[in-house]
Structure 1
Amino acid sequence: MGPVSSGRKARLKVCIVGLNYTPEPTGIAPYTAGLARGLSKRGHSVRVVTGYPHYPEWRVRPGYRGLRKTEDCDGVPVSRRRHFVPRRSTAIGRTVLELSFGMQAILSRWGRPDVVICVSPGLVSTGLVVARASLSPGQSPAIGIWVQDLYSSGVVETNAVGSVGARFVLALESKVLRSADGVSVIHDRFKQVLVESLRVRGDLINVTRNWTHVGSSELTKSNCRSLFGWRDDEFIALHAGNMGAKQGLENVISAARLAVGRGLRVRFVLVGDGNQRAHLEVLAAGLDSVEFVPPLADDMYLAALRGADVLLVNERPGVKEMALPSKLTSYFMSGNPVVAATEPSGITAQELQSAGAGAVVPAGQPGSLLDAVVDLASNPARAKACGHSGKLFVHLKLSEDLAINELEAWISSLSRIRAGF
């Protein structure tokens, strides 16, 4: 936890501005929706300004037409604004997306809030919202930025832009974050980057971990496997979530090809969607050991996690600090072990090791990934122990009530800062 002060709880008017929201099933959306719902249940007046659901498919979902749409989601009024959605998540496409959403967001009604919470990503839209708030007539609202991913780390680690572009993104992210009254991040490693690289004052940074937003399937493992046609004599290694450039899932396809060459009964299952899915399907053509499953409803998603034998996190080489995969919270809750192919010194490896929930292997080494999967397949006692440790970590560290309480206290502290208390 960061700079949260005590005091009598007051009912606040809070506007949350974020590009992603329910019904998007993965990524940032479940956390933004969870915060809005949690604050509302705690008696605060909450309003959300968001975009049209488009992630991870990178296309607007059916039923969302027109330029704007107003909904009530779990008692929270939600104002949706149409924005550009690129066919592929390139740096330019992402920038135009955020710019178009940001322009819509600053032209929306916020309802004279006490506090505006901006969710980053998107960074560009957050910068526009901060600018509008600072120019508001009369008493301007307090501004908090809730950081889920780090752009400046991301553009370097994914080589998305050149060195000049990376310096520009670093300067922009630093400027935007330092313009807020406070910043909340999801891990201590993020705080370290903000202080050391982005020059954000440490006393203005709150650390609140993301929580698990799913439960676990009540079906037996055997019943879960039968839903997907998985045989009892094959070992299921499952990756769930976005299939984008950051994930580098070509590594998983290569591991599957090695498994066939060794005559191993390992099936690699990729659940979800993303801008790299079509490319991955081409790479996996002819491989019976690879299965693609489209995004699943919550009950089927939980069944897939439960039915698998091991759950996979895969990141492209060089990805260390830009993001903490949100899938980890769901993975830990499933009670299954996890294998992460990632940079050994990165934030993902640290999280998995802290939970004691599985094995870390170097990114971009399919042989090492396959060996770790096979090791767990041949050592059921160790696999069970890792799964138990992950679930215990969730109960001790990743409680939704704990996280929402901490974020509520942080938001209340922002309102007191702006009010001069």
Structure 2
Amino acid sequence: MKVLVIGLNYAPETTGISPYTSAFARGLAHRDVKVSALTAHPHYPEWKIHDGYGRWTVSDIIDGVPVTRLRHYVPANPGGVNRLVSELSFGFRLLFARWGRPDVVVMVSPALFSTAIAMLRARLGFNRPVVNVWVQDIYSLGITETGMGNGPVAKLITWVEKTTLKAASGVVVIHDRFGEHLSRRLGVDPARIEVVRNWTHLDAAAPTDVAATRAHHRWPDDETVVLHAGNMGVKQGLENVVHAARLADEQNLPVRFVLMGNGSQRDELQAMGSAITRLQFIGSLDDAGFQAALAAADVLLVNEKPGVSEMAVPSKLTSYFNAARPVIGATDPEGLTASEIEAAGGGRIVLAGDPQALLDAALALGSDPDLARTLGESGFRYRTDVLGETAAIDKFTSWLRRLVTRTSTRR
């Protein structure tokens, strides 16, 4: 079986979808599948092409996988029309790139609009491979849940997503509720949908020198450190964390909120919190530094914008559970993020957009080390028992083989 993986994000990006796309391609190669990848230059979450990259087209081999990178438009401000143009520019590069003659093409969404253009080529070209779309976010939900579009815009995005997914031979989703939404709302045949959970892409963390790590980041021992790691975008709604830190200042409470990473909203958040002493920003770290920071924090935070409920399962949760630290989910109690934390028994849920509730939950966990330890251990067991990489990629590989067999039979 010859597989081409198409996705906007790939190693060496360390956050978001990239670790899964890269690990999946690497896993296929280790299973003796002939695999290659078409991707962009690394640019996320900074929305700036990393130093040393940026040529029009460049090829490399990463972990045994031939990777071709295509230069596309990377906006400094990725909101709205800029984001659309960025995805379209990558899609048009895919139209004229060399695909080879794969048996299967796996297209990763996001990015939806570049996936839609690639789907046109796959369905209208001379060589028509089996196509599987790997859905990490649901755009038609996201556009409404984040309040970024409605009316004609929402209808257009829903139509593009529905048309693209229904044109696929198969669709892999990362949660059961994604599959239910695609079949019920977008009309995708349930027989074409497979659920493959996102896995923990980090190895079990090596023992961390907590004291040294906390000293390095200037985290006092008498403060409860609440760490949010990863992208700082619109759907994270991190102004809630800024407000919680301001409340901690006003109430003179021993809590420190830390936002670690980068993203389109970072500058705005820093300006908003410039006078707050219990708020700290840290840039993106390498894997070792990232894992050490998670392990040294007292509480790990998933924060979502009010209204965000079903559009995505935050990829950071797998890393959080791997760190064996308790998690607070500031989110919709009925949403996917809350259901995942509750399934793991790994933390506590507070209502999205309620900074006082977030602050109270942080204080409660900080003052109860036995409860914090119990929640952290439960999350780690869930990571081990449910979110294993080997089983996930085995399941994905078997699904692709079934799609090839099914399509060959129909032809």
TM-score by length of 2: 0.98
Q: Which moved more, 1:210-219 or 1:147-156?
A: 210-219
Cα distance in 2, alignment partners of residues 32 and 165 from structure 1: 29
Q: Which of 273, 290, 301 is 1:312 aligned to?
A: 301
1:41-97, CA deviations, whole angstroms, 9 ceiling, x for partnerless residues?
000100100011110001111111321111111110000000011111212111111
Q: Spell out, residue by residue over 1:256-292, the C-alpha distance to the aligned partner (whole angstroms, 9 max, x if none).
A: 0111111111111110000100000011112111110
The equivalent residue for 1:273 is: 262
Contact 2:134-2:171 at 8 Å conserved across structures: yes
Q: Considering only aligned residues, what root-mean-square deviation do their CA atoms show, in Å? A: 1.0
Q: What's 2:171 paired with?
A: 183
Aligned partner (choices 256, 260, 265) of residue 249 of structure 2: 260
- Kindly indicate whether residue 400 of structure 2 is the aligned counterpart of residue 411 of structure 1: yes
Aligned match for 1:385, one of 359, 363, 374: 374
Query: Alignment partner for residue 193 of structure 1, among 173, 177, 181?
Result: 181
1:147 to 135, 148, 152: 135
Q: What secondary structure sits across from 2:280 in the alignment?
A: strand
Question: Equivalent residue of 1:193, what SS?
Answer: helix
Unpaired segments of 5 or more residues in structure 2? none
Post-superposition offset of 1:188: 0.5
Q: Does 1:31 align with 2:44?
A: no
**In the alignment, residue 140 of structure 2 is paired with which amino acid?**
S
Query: Which amino acid letter does the alignment assign opposite residue 195 of structure 1?
Result: S
Q: What is residue 334 of structure 2 aligned with on the other side? A: 345
1:368 matched to which residue of 2?
357
1:357 maps to 2:357 = no
Matches within 5 A, 1:85-104: 85-104=74-93
Q: Deviations over 1:137-168 (max 9, x none)?
A: 25x21000000000000000011112111111
| 1:73 and 2:79 aligned | no
Say whether residues 1:218 and 2:175 are aligned partners.
Answer: no
Shift of 1:217: 3.6
1:170 to 155, 158, 163: 158
Contact kept, 8 Å, 2:333 with 2:351, in 1: the verdict is yes
**CA positional deviation for 1:237:** 0.4
Q: Contact 1:52/1:60 (CA < 8 Å) preserved in 2?
A: yes
Q: Which amino acid aligns with 2:283?
A: P
Q: From 118, 121, 125, give the equivalent of 1:132.
A: 121
Q: Offset of 1:172 from its aligned partner?
A: 1.1
1:397 and 2:386 correspond: yes
Partner in structure 2 of residue 157 of structure 1: 145
Question: 2-side partners of 1:13 and 1:319: how far apart?
Answer: 38
- SS of the counterpart of 2:5? strand
**What is the deviation of 1:415?**
1.2
Contact 2:4 2:37 (8 Å CA) reproduced: yes
15-24 or 61-70: bigger deviation: 61-70
Most deviating of 218-227 and 372-381:
218-227
Q: Distance in 2 between matches of 1:224 and 1:407?
A: 37
The residue type paired with residue 171 of structure 2 is V
Please list the CA deviations of residues 334-387 of structure 1 after superposition, one character each: whole Å capped at 9, or x if unmatched: 010000100111100100010010000000000000011011011111111100
Contact kept? 2:208, 2:296, Cα under 8 Å: no
**Residue identity matched to 1:76:** V
Distance 1:97 1:417 in 2: 35
Of structures 1 and 2, the one with the larger relative CO (CA 8 A, separation 6+) is 1
2:242–2:269 CA contact under 8 A, matched in 1: yes
SS at match of 2:330: strand
Is the partner of 1:33 in helix, strand or coil?
A: helix
- Give the TM-score taking structure 1 as reference length: 0.96
- Identity among equivalent positions (%) equals 47
What's the offset of the Cα at 1:173?
Answer: 0.5
Counterpart code for 1:77:
P
Give 1:30 shift: 0.3
Do residues 294 (structure 1) and 279 (structure 2) align? no
Asked whether 1:120 is paired with 2:105, we answer: no
Conservation of the 8 A alpha-carbon contact between 2:95 and 2:117: yes
SS in 1 for 2:306: coil
8 Å CA contact 1:181–1:417 kept in 2: the answer is no
Query: 1:244 is matched by which residue type in structure 2?
Result: G
The answer to whether the Cα contact below 8 Å between 1:142 and 1:418 also exists between their aligned partners in 2 is: yes
Q: Kindly provide the amino acid, as one letter, of the partner of residue 135 in structure 2.
A: V
* Distance in 1 separating the partners of 2:214 and 2:384: 26
Residue matched to 2:43: 54
8 Å Cα contact 1:141-1:418 kept in structure 2: no
Equivalent in the alignment of 2:234 = 245
| 1:357 and 1:388 in contact (8 A); partners too | yes
Contact 2:327–2:348 (8 Å) recurs in 1 = yes
Question: Separation in 2 of the partners of 1:384 and 1:47?
Answer: 42
User: Which residue identity lines up with residue 90 of structure 1 in the other structure?
Assistant: G
Corresponding position of 1:7? none
SS in 2 for 1:22: coil
1:9 is matched with none
Shift of 1:227: 2.7
CA distance in 1: counterparts of 2:206 and 2:243, whole angstroms: 30
* Structure 1: stretches of 5+ with no match in the other structure: 1-11
